[in-house]
Structure formats: C-alpha cells, structure tokens
Chain A
Amino acid sequence: MLAIVLRRLAFLVPMLLGLSMLTFLAMHLIPGDLALLLVGPEGVRDPTVLANIRREYGLDQPLVVQYGAWLAKIARGDFGDSLRLRVPVLAEILRRLPITLELAGLSVLFGVALGGPIGALAALRGGGWAVLGRGFAILGVAVPNFLLGTLLILLGARYLPFIPALEYVAFGDDPRRHLLGLLYPVVALGTGLAATIAENARAAVAEALYLDHVRVGRAKGLTERRVVTGHILRNAAIPLITVVGLQAAYLLGGTIIVETIFALPGLGRLALSAVSLRDYPLMQGIVLVVATMVLLANLAADLAYGLADPRLRAG
C-alpha cells in the first residue's frame, strides 16, 4: 500500500507541472495584448508605459523563458502581486480559502447525508422510492445552484425569517450565526451533489444486491437487516468515495456562484471579482490553486478507495 501511495505522490509532480503549463498557456494564448490588460481599462495607452510594463513582466521575452521565470517564482511561493488589491496574490488566496473549504466540505457532508439514503432506499425498496429517487436525481441537477440559492432567499425571507440569508459572521465572533449563515449556501451547493450521489448510490446498491456474499449471508440465515447494513451498504459505499472525489471540480466551481449570491468572502467570490476587474496575476493564481486542489482531491479519493477496498490494498 505504501508503495502505491508513494508512486501516486511521485506522479503528482508531472501532473502539477502540466497544470502550471496549461494555466500559463491559457492565460497567454488568449487573444489581446497582455500589457494593455495589465494597465487596465482606464490606464494610459502611452507606448513608453506599455514598453515598461512589457519589460517589468518579461512580456518581451520568448514564451518558454517567461514560463520558466514564472514557474521559478511560483515554486518559491511568489505568485506576484494583485493589480487592484495591491497585496501578494498568495496571501489573499490563503486568507479567502478557509471559508471556501468550509462551504465545500459542509456541502459534501450534506450531499452524502441527503443523497446516500435516497439512492439506497430507491434501490432497496423500489416502487415509490424508486420514482422519488429518479425525480430527485433529475431535479437536483435541473435546479442549478444559483436558482436554488435565489429560491432559498425568496422563501426563507418569507417563512424562516430567523435564518440570516445574506450576512457573513466569522466563526470566532458568533459560531451559531456563522453556521446559520452557511445553511442556505450549503443547501444550494450540496443539493446538486446529493442528486449525483443519489443516482450513483442507487446503482451501487442495486449492483451489490446480487453479489455472491450477499446470497451467502442470506443462506446463512442472517436477518435481512444484517444483510442490508453489513453486506450491501458497506459494499455500495466504496464506489461513492470516487464519485465524491470526482465532484471536486464541480464543487469548487459552484462556490464561485454560491459565494457571490450569498455574499460570502471566500475564494470563489474573489475569483469573480478578479475576472471582472481584469486582475490578471490574481486570476492566474486562483486558477492554479483551484486546479491543484481538484487534483489533490481526486488523488485523496483514489487513495481512500484503495484503503476501503481490501482487494486493492493487497494488489
């Protein structure tokens, strides 16, 4: 197992290099003069100013040289300075990251807690539960996070006025209000995940019903309850780890919208403001950090899968 972990971790190095290359290329292949972008829409169009900017950012160098210089700085933790906020990019990202991770983490818990049972019941009970499971799997996706968030604010203000909808309170200031303030954002972000989990849980449980050891368990005379919890659900839970891991990109993308709707000061909202302000170094830093987190989440899910399935642990 240790060998597998080490091999996967070693493979991470070329993957991260690839990510940095894609991020760099994506930003540089976009049509338009980067120097003009860097001065900003209201900046001067004076040729000497533009020439200075090109020299300062190395834009007059060949692309390979530019990439090398950029990568060397990134490796030292220097992501450059934000053009608008006038602070180091990495510091600002790290300052905003905890709230985004909290939102995403709670959304995963919500998604598993809601989608898992719906999917399992749809497979085990069939009938009305199966119809409900299908309906939830469709509607959970068809009502996207920004629509669900809007509806939650609309309905919440009318029927649940004690839940703060559009304020953010730091955990240290008031833990209760902090968590209440995250309730709607978590529901808005986690419901789509719950729909995906419900659909996969249904398929996994339906498949586990016919496994040999389930039949053996029944033949041994175990109670139906023991068979379901001990034999079926435990087997069905393992593939769900992968499903959740693969949703990391979707979840982090969703935080951009959900944080914007609910005015949460996280990385997602920072991403949107960086884009609308054309804060180019900040944009690049966020894209790279988010993609790295997705890669790490996928890797963690892979390793967790290996730990959970004894057959893979041996091989």
Chain B
Amino acid sequence: MAAPAPTLARAAAQGLPAAARSGRRWRRPNPELALGALLLVLLVGATLLAPVIAGSDPNRTAPGLSLAPPQAGFPLGTDSLGRDVLSRVLHGGRVSLRVALPAVGLALALGLLLGLPAGFFGGRIDQVLMRLLDLVFAFPAILLAIVVVAILGPSIPNLVVTIGLIYAPRMARVVRAPTMAVTARDFVEAARALGASDARLALRHVLPNAASPVIVEASLALGQVIITETALSFLGLGPPPPDPTWGAMLSENRAFMSFAPWTVIAPGAAIAVAVAAFLMLGHGLRAALDPRGRS
C-alpha cells in the first residue's frame, strides 16, 4: 500500500503549481492530523448519536437523584437538579456545533468577500481595508461579543451572527495574503493574457491556489469559536435554557464542584477535547498542505 500512494498523489498534484507538487509530503506521518480527525469523528458521531448513547432526555430531572455520582443509568452522574450529565454533555456538543459551524461559515464568506478583492486588486482599496481591520483588532473579541449579545439578547441565531462578524476580519486577513502572492504569479498573468476576466481570474485561478491557508485558518477558528461560545455561555450570555451548553454547565455547577466534581469535569473535558481536536486538525492540515510547514 505504501508504494503506490506517492505516485497517485503526484498524479493528482499535476494540476498544482510547482511549489506544491512535491509528492513527498504525503509519505510523512502526520500524527496531529490523524489524532485531530479521529477525535472530531468521535465527537461529531457522539453528539449526533446523543439520544442513542445517553438514552435519557438532557432536561429530565430524576427526583431524589440530585448530584448522584456516576452509576448504572447515569454513567457520568447527575447534576444538582438530578439531570443526566452525560446526556447534557452530548446535547451541549450539538449546541456548540450549531453555533460554531454557521458562525465560521459566515466569517469565511465575509472574509472572502473582503479579503479576495483586497488581495487581488491591491492598491488604495487594500490599504484602506487593512488599516480598518487594524482598528477592529484593537477590540478584544470577547468584549465585543459580550456587548453585542447582551444588547441583541442571547439566542443561537444572534450568537452565530455576532461571532461570525467578529471573526470575519481575521478571515479577511488570512484570505488577503495568499491572494496577493498568487495574483503576482506568472500563470495568472498568462490567463489574463488569454483574455480571462477579473472575476474568472480571481475565482478560478487565484482562489483555488490560495485556499490552503484559508482552510487551515477555518479549522483553527472553529476551535476558537467554541471557546468564545462556551465563554459566553459561562458568563450567562449563551443560548438560553433549556438548551444545555458546556459553558453554562460549568458555571451553574461550580457551587457543587467540591463534592460533585463530575458535574464540572465532564463539560470541562468536553470543551478541551473539542477545541484540541479542531486545533490539531488545523495544525495537521497546515503541515500537510504547506511544504514549508514541515519542520
């Protein structure tokens, strides 16, 4: 199995520019990418199968079973209201993904809309946009998120829009740099000479070759967005009840954690594993896609 892979990779890479065509990178083991992808598959699978795995409703209270330690029927114990911690952690994962995926999608779309023209055309538009982004970066993301969510009201759609807008400038910057570099390359000039329009040049010739760092950043941003969402939930500004969220579980059980530590350790571990999975996927993709990233 080991021998044909590089050949296939090289054949598949024929369409790519010379710098990316080294088939060697596929032979290098990439434990970070593998581990990140594995964790993500487990995580997404577990949240999708939440009703099957956990059985009980995340909001059903078991009378007389308040803060019960892990036992048959409640593998991760119960919280102060007698609710199944495992079920709440798994359903909380659904909420996190329901916020994070569309938020990053929105940030990516806005980032492309701003960053692609800026990098492609350069000049005055680019200068103005970049100075504006410098200013936006002076506002801490969590401060902006708190202010906007508190005023709009915490709901999943409001969280998606707020977080998406906050991460858009970052995406714009990540789109712009490689767009600029690829636009200056000879093959783009060649396509221009053949009469391709600006739109065709930008979308068909530049964007596909500038996509790698953007894909990497999107994966890293998913991890960051989960942190932002859980932080907001922790501060009481996340999706409102009855949706269980990891951040809210952490903060509402803090009062009981000295004698019922499972109530905070379970959502805490879920946050750490989910964020780590997206970060490892991002770092792993960077090493796999960028030949210079291998050190």
Contact = CB atoms under 8 A, between A and B. Distances in A.
| Chain A binding surface, main DSSP class | helix
Contact of A287 (B139, B247, B268, B279): B139
A37 B150 CA distance: 12
A287 B143 contact: yes
A147 B151 CA distance: 25
Interface string A138-169: 11011110110011011001100000000000
A257 B231 contact: yes
A260 B231 CA distance: 12
A68 interface: no
A186 interface: no
Contacts of B261: 154
Given A22-B135, A253-B143, A291-B138, A147 B250 contact: yes
A144 B271 contact: yes
A271 B143 contact: yes
Contacts of A26: 144, 147-148
Given A157-B258, A249-B139, A271-B143, 4 more contacts: A141-B279, A146-B250, A154-B258, A292-B138
Contact of A150 (B142, B152, B235, B264): B264
Contacts of B283: 138
B257 interface: yes
Interface of B: 32, 131-132, 134-144, 146-148, 150-152, 223, 227, 230-231, 234-236, 247, 250-251, 254, 257-258, 261, 264, 268, 271-273, 275-276, 279-280, 283, 295
A275 B147 contact: yes
Contacts of A287: 139, 143, 147
14 contacts: A18-B135, A30-B151, A37-B151, A138-B279, A142-B275, A144-B227, A146-B251, A147-B250, A157-B258, A249-B138, A271-B143, A272-B146, A283-B147, A295-B138
Contacts of B152: 30-31
Contacts of A158: 258
A232 interface: no
Interface in A2-35: 15, 18-19, 22, 26, 30-32
Interface of A: 15, 18-19, 22, 26, 30-32, 37, 134, 138-139, 141-144, 146-147, 150-151, 153-154, 157-158, 203, 206, 249-250, 252-254, 256-257, 260, 271-272, 275-276, 278, 283, 286-287, 290-292, 294-295, 298
Given A30-B151, A142-B279, A278-B150, A253 B135 contact: no
Nearest to A255: B140
Given A134-B32, A150-B250, A256-B146, A144 B231 contact: yes
Given A138-B280, A272-B146, A147 B272 contact: yes
Contacts of B254: 150, 153
A60 to B, nearest CB: 21
B130 to A, nearest CB: 12
A249 B231 contact: no
Contacts of B250: 146-147, 150
